[in-house]
Amino acid sequence: MLDYSQRIAALLLVIVFTVVFCGAPASAQESTAKAQADSDSMAADIALARPVGTVATVAGFALFVISSPFSALGGNTKEAWETLVVPPAAYTFKRPLGHFEGETTQGQKQQ
């Protein structure tokens, strides 16, 4: 009978072979899965992200209007606008359809 260390070595060998041989078909299907993921992300963007972004833009504008007298007294109206209104509006209306988390149109991350 195999001792404990030989059982562990055999188990690790089986795991390595399983990962290697199961990973090859997954990488072959990556291009079709990416196209499906793109259409899924576009659908999620239309159904969820854009409406939520629109609500966030309206809410940010409402907060800006409420805080504008205090911002004007403090001299930071521009900063309040750029914090409360610009980011949700840019997320909702400037971002390409289906792109999330700072991706550019080429799919590269912005820094």
Q: Is residue 81 part of a domain?
A: yes
Answer for the pair 60, 84: CB distance below 8 angstroms, yes or no: yes
pLDDT by residue (tens digit) across 34-80? 667 688 899 999 999 999 999 999 999 999 999 999 999 999 999 99
pLDDT at site 6: 75
pLDDT by residue (tens digit) across 77-94? 999 999 999 999 999 999
Tell me how many domains the chain contains.
1
Position with higher pLDDT, 106 vs 81: 81
Q: Is residue 104 part of a domain?
A: no
Q: Is residue 1 part of a domain?
A: no
pTM over 0.75: no
Mean pLDDT, to the nearest integer, of 9-21? 62
pLDDT at site 4: 72
Q: How far apart are CA 68 and CA 32, in angstroms?
A: 50
Q: Is residue 107 part of a domain?
A: no
Read out DSSP for 33-53?
A: HHHHHHHHHHHHIIIIIHHHH
Q: Is residue 75 part of a domain?
A: yes
Q: Is residue 71 part of a domain?
A: yes
Return the top range by mean pLDDT from 20-24, 78-82, 104-108.
Answer: 78-82
Residue range(s) defining the domain that contains residue 71: 47-95
Q: Is residue 41 part of a domain?
A: no
